[in-house]
Amino acid sequence: MSIHMERLPRTIVLFRAGEASDQVISRAAAQEVAALISSEDIGSDAPVLACLDQRVLPDAVEHLITADWRCVITWICELAVRGAPAIGAAGAAAVALAAFDAAGADEGRAFLQHVQEAAVLIGDARPTAVNLMWATQRMVALAEQRVDAGEDARSVACALFDEACAIQREDEEANRRIGEVGAALLPQGCAVLTHCNAGSLATSFYGTALGVVYAAADQGKLVRVYADETRPVCQGSRLTAWELARAGVPVTLICDDMAASVMAAGEVDAVIVGADRIAANGDVANKIGTLGVAVLARHFGIPFYVAAPTSTIDPDTLTGADIRIEQRSACEVSAHPIEGVDIINPAFDITPADLVTAIITERGAFAPQRALDALG
Ligand code: MRU
């Protein structure tokens, strides 16, 4: 099977305004950057962040652009950019934008304080995915170290720009490695079921759960992916199904309530999902509905794998019960509320470690109870 990763757009692109190119971001976004430079709204060396707008997929492939870190918070809250590793990378980029913002006005401690305060606001944009806090804290630690060493604000801001780019590069490398590790666990000619979107769109590139899919497809091991639609926001039907079809992987879209019957029919050899946070005891927070799929997989004797970079493992969170679950708007569940009807919309659930066959990371596959071993 030929896999066409080159057909997938990049989720996050951080660049200097003068380097905007429609090779990596949509033509409209590149033109928008050029217009900003020519109207002197931004200088050609200003850092700009482009994020693929996942709210409008699959109808349109458009990048949003901004030089304003506050705008990135809105995009993260509104799911324009989503998926744990992707919001980590976008959050890091937002800290770099905040540093350039402050570098024009402040030096030393005042500059650092601006970066720290912005990083707290960015890190709070969504509470469940630990990658966001992990990335913003990594950026702040670098800023503190450079300021303490006496570097001027402009050069610290440049170092933060490079660090945000490094986070993206490392994420893609980790995903490619996760793909290799995970593909080795799958049998020849297998079909897998996945939930939500843990694909290239949810990461800097390549994906975690779908990274395993791409690697297995590339090796000729995988015949089909069943994609749960993943109510209420439909990351499965709008994003996973689109992404896989575009990359050339055979995909069948199912409603969430069809997973049991597809498994009962013997159509699924393995389940692979991503994660937003993995607690020290191996409990996994992932998109709402993951727990149900894990229970089904156990019932039908199907292995249930969680694919995630080590940045998703949180040694400071002891169990799943300690993970804060984001509660989102009722409008996502029903656009037309009925008087007298209450609606809940928890965005994630917790799958207990004992339902997980293995956690697949860039450092190998681990029994969930040994998740911390992946951190070395
Ligand atoms: O609300 P979302 O779309 O950000 O939720 C995303 C998920 O739950 C993904 O499965 C998870 O972040 C892993 S992405 C590689």
Query: If residue 76 lies in a helix (H) or strand (E), which one and from where to where?
Result: helix 69-77
**pLDDT range class, residue 61, cuts 50, 70, 90:** very high
Q: Which residues pair with 49 in a beta bridge?
A: 14, 66
Q: Is 235 in the pocket of ligand 1 (CB under 6 A)?
A: yes
Closest atom, ligand 1, to C-alpha of 208: 15
Instruction: State yes or no: pLDDT of 274 exceeds 80.
Output: yes
What is the spatial distance between Cα 42 and Cα 80, in angstroms, rounded to a whole number? 23
**pLDDT range class, residue 59, cuts 50, 70, 90:** very high
Catalytic one of 269, 276, 283, 314: 276
Identify whether 373 is a catalytic site residue. Answer: no
Q: Is 82 in the pocket of ligand 1 (CB under 6 A)?
A: yes
Phi-psi region of 207 (alpha: psi -120 to 50; beta: other; left: phi over 0): left
> Cα(241) to centroid of ligand 1, in Å?
15
> Cα(113) to centroid of ligand 1, in Å?
31
Question: Ligand 1 pocket test: which of 81, 235, 304 has the largest number of ligand atoms within 8 Å of its C-beta?
Answer: 235
Closest atom, ligand 1, to C-alpha of 87: 4
Distances (CA, A) of 97 to 122, 162, 366: 11, 12, 37
> Cα(77) to centroid of ligand 1, in Å?
13
Summarize the confidence of residues 98-123 as an average pLDDT. 95
Closest atom, ligand 1, to C-alpha of 348: 8
Mapped onto helix, strand or coil, the DSSP state of residue 314 is strand
What pTM did the predictor assign? 0.97
**pLDDT range class, residue 193, cuts 50, 70, 90:** very high
Q: Is 182 in the pocket of ligand 1 (CB under 6 A)?
A: no
Q: Is 203 in the pocket of ligand 1 (CB under 6 A)?
A: yes
Q: Is 85 in the pocket of ligand 1 (CB under 6 A)?
A: yes
Beta carbons of 131 and 311 less than 8 angstroms apart: yes
**pLDDT range class, residue 21, cuts 50, 70, 90:** confident
Specify the pLDDT at position 203.
Answer: 98
